[in-house]
Amino acid sequence: MPASFDPVSLAVIGGLILLAAAGGAVLARLFAAPAKVDDTLNEGLKERLTELGQMQAALQGRMEQMDKSNQTGQAGMRKSLDERLDSVSKKVGDSLVQNQENSTKALRHLYERLAVIDNAQKNISELTGEVTGLKQILSNNQARGAFGEVQLKDVISGLLPPNAFEFQHTLSNGKRPDALILLPDPPGPVAVDAKFPLEAYRQLTDAPDDEARKTARRAFTTDVKKHLTDIADKYLIAGETSDTALMFVPSEAVYATIHADFPDLVELGRKKRVLVVSPTTLMAILNTVRAVMRDAEMHKQAHLIQSEVGKMMDDVHRLDTRVEALDKHFAMAEKDIRLIRTSAEKIMKKGERIAEVEFDEGEEPAALPAAKLDA
């Protein structure tokens, strides 16, 4: 590393160089002067030369001291620079390690999030396929009807016991509702049929303008009226079914539209004794039906219990009669035992009296009269 000096040192060195140059010039002039210079002048010159030599020696010592000082300062500066470089290198290394750890954690977290996103993408793809399949099912009339029947079966079988309903039961007129809830009479079995007016509903919800919406409302009204009329004509049979049937709509949105925007259809259903129900309202009705069936079963069991209690009371009467007869036998036996004990006491007393009689020697005892025992 090249030596570096501060401005003061450079100024001192420059002054010394100028002084040395001046001394050299004086010496040159002295040596070039004529030989006739007197001795006094020579002695003065010698003194000046001596002073110059001393100043040159002092200058050389000063320069050596400055060189040592510069070397010492350079060593300290080098050491300080090395320490600072080591500290900076350590900080840079620690920072690089920390950054690497943070990068590793960030990448791991990124991989985890990517895995979650990948799973979500798979779920979305599966859901898209299911929605597409459901859309295909609902676009076909037969498949849509089967979808409503399956949902109806799930709701009924999940809330009622197996002996409380029948699916596809054939009535006396040859018609078969989707489900028949076997309520006791009255009111009797309730017919339930699934209807899904989806196409007319889609036309109503997708209508671009008022004219198309009016046309869709007429189509929707006609479709629902036909379903209500068919259910009333097919599944309401006096003496065989209840006087009320249920039209099951497997869509809460369609059910809400009927009750909110088509009150005339609701009123028509009441007149024809056909109630429009959704999955939610059907669940509520079935809960009520289950309570009615439980109450009817309790009444039935109560009659059985009363009948069994009557039989049990007959058995209790017979038991009481037999106990009374047994009590009479015990009373007669007690009386016989008491008489037997009385006879035994009399016999014992007579035996004691006989034992107390004294006989003379050689005299035979007279015969005693026969004792009569009390019966």
Scan for tokens 């309401």, then name that residue. Answer: 236
Give the per-residue pLDDT at 246: 92
Output 1 or 206, whichever has higher pLDDT.
206
pLDDT tens track for 81-117: 878 888 887 888 788 888 888 888 888 888 788 788 8
pLDDT tens track for 23-34: 555 555 555 544
Beta strand pairing call for 245-248 and 190-194: parallel
Give the per-residue pLDDT at 372: 47
Separation in Å, CA 356 to CA 193, 261, 346, 352: 112, 125, 16, 6
Beta strand pairing call for 274-277 and 245-248: parallel
* Percentage, residues of the chain above pLDDT 90: 5
Give the per-residue pLDDT at 88: 81
The CATH number of residue 235's host domain is 3.40.1350
Q: Does 179 reside within a domain?
A: yes
Instruction: For residues 141-153, give the mean pLDDT.
Output: 69
The confidence band for 13, taking pLDDT boundaries of 50, 70 and 90, is low
140 has a pLDDT exceeding 60: no
Give the per-residue pLDDT at 37: 46
pLDDT tens track for 289-326: 888 777 777 777 677 777 777 788 888 888 888 888 88
User: What are the structure tokens assigned to 238, written together?
Assistant: 């006096």
Q: Does 205 reside within a domain?
A: yes
Q: Does 69 reside within a domain?
A: no
Give the per-residue pLDDT at 30: 53
Give the per-residue pLDDT at 132: 45
Give the per-residue pLDDT at 375: 41
* Nearest by Cα to 163 from 179, 186, 181: 181
Are the C-beta atoms of residues 191 and 241 closer than 8 Å to each other?
Answer: yes
* Nearest by Cα to 181 from 235, 142, 259, 254: 235
Q: Does 241 reside within a domain?
A: yes
Separation in Å, CA 146 to CA 114, 155, 197, 250, 365: 40, 14, 13, 11, 122
Q: What angle do CA 210, 215, 219 make, to 5 degrees?
A: 140
Q: Cα(269)–Cα(50) distance, rounded to whole angstroms? A: 142
pLDDT tens track for 158-211: 888 888 888 988 888 888 898 898 887 777 888 998 887 777 788 888 888 888
Identify the sign of the CA torsion 220, 222, 226, 228: positive
Q: Does 127 reside within a domain?
A: no
Q: Does 346 reside within a domain?
A: no
The confidence band for 134, taking pLDDT boundaries of 50, 70 and 90, is very low
Q: Does 183 reside within a domain?
A: yes
Write b or e for each residue in 233-245: b if 16 or more Cβ atoms lie within 10 A of its Cβ, otherwise e.
ebbbbeeebbebb
Residue 4 dihedral angles phi and psi, to the nearest 5°: -125, 140
Instruction: For residues 13-29, give the mean pLDDT.
Output: 59
Coil, strand, or helix at residue 194? strand
Q: Does 76 reside within a domain?
A: no
What is the total count of domains within the chain?
Answer: 1
* Percentage, residues of the chain above pLDDT 70: 77
Output 243 or 11, whichever has higher pLDDT.
243
pLDDT tens track for 223-244: 889 999 999 999 988 888 888 8
Distance of CA 89 to the CA centre of its chain: 52
* Nearest by Cα to 204 from 230, 190, 223: 223
Structural domain of residue 205, as residue ranges? Answer: 139-298
144 has a pLDDT exceeding 50: yes
Separation in Å, CA 155 to CA 34, 174, 246, 254, 281: 143, 25, 14, 18, 11
